[in-house]
Amino acid sequence: MRLYNSNEMARIGCHGCEGCSKCCKNMGQSIVLNPYDIYNLSNNMGLSFEELLCGPVELTSEAGIVQPCIKMIDSAEGSKCGFLDSNGRCSIHSFRPGICRLFPLGRDYSDGNIRYFILEDECPAGSKTKEKIGAWLGFSSDSELRKYEEFLGKWHSYISDKRKEIYAAGEGAQAKAKEIGAMLLNRFYIPAYECEDFYLEIYRRMEL
């Protein structure tokens, strides 16, 4: 599998999706939201985390750890994201979650570096165009992209360490997972990010 850096070009351009919306339907609880996603949703929609949980967001347990995700709603065409509008377009396109921005790419965290791979069979768009991955993710400046990738790497390591703690708890793993899930919600999701710099604020919380 070929891995790309974010400054490379990859054949991922889907011609504006042209009303396809396949990756917005029947996704179960796979669109997991990190604190940056929740920060963006809250700020742009003017809703607190608790208010988001009463609407388009729900909680899931990903490998034993409770985290928020996009809620799929039932419809005549199967389940679909509540943000999908009647024209098959994303109604929150400019501030959609990171996993949605990424598609049809996946992210690889091995070797301590963030790299990307193409989900060859997941997106039906034909004759894909070559796009620069950083721009595809919606970052016009390299410095903003670097800051985002640095955050993703740190968050991924943080969650991986918490998974190891759960595993190391042996018979107490269930209680440990519950404790960590509650800590994540109370420390990273429920309190709003009042500081102007999201990254400074989350790194401060990661050190608590």
- Kindly list the residues in this chain that would bind ligand SF4 in the complex (CB under 6 A): 14, 17, 20-24, 31, 70, 81, 83-84, 90, 92, 96-97, 100, 103-104, 123, 125
The per-residue b/e assignment along 92-126, b for 16 or more CB within 10 angstroms, e otherwise, is beebbbbbbebbbbebeeeeeebbbebeeeebebe
In whole angstroms, how close is the CB of 111 to ligand SF4 at the nearest point? 27
CB of 23 to ligand SF4, least distance (A): 3
How far apart are the C-alpha atoms of 14 and 76, rounded to whole Å? Answer: 25
Q: Shortest Cβ distance from residue 139 to ligand SF4 (Å)?
A: 17
Place of tokens 């098959």: 88
- Closest separation in Å from C-beta 19 to ligand SF4: 8
List the one residue out of 134, 136, 161, 135 whose CA is nearest residue 149: 134
Q: Which is nearer to ligand SF4, 64 or 88 (CB)?
A: 88
- The smaller minimum CB distance to ligand SF4, of residues 21 and 48, is found at 21
- Encoded amino acid at 206, one letter: M
Of 20 and 173, CB closest to ligand SF4: 20
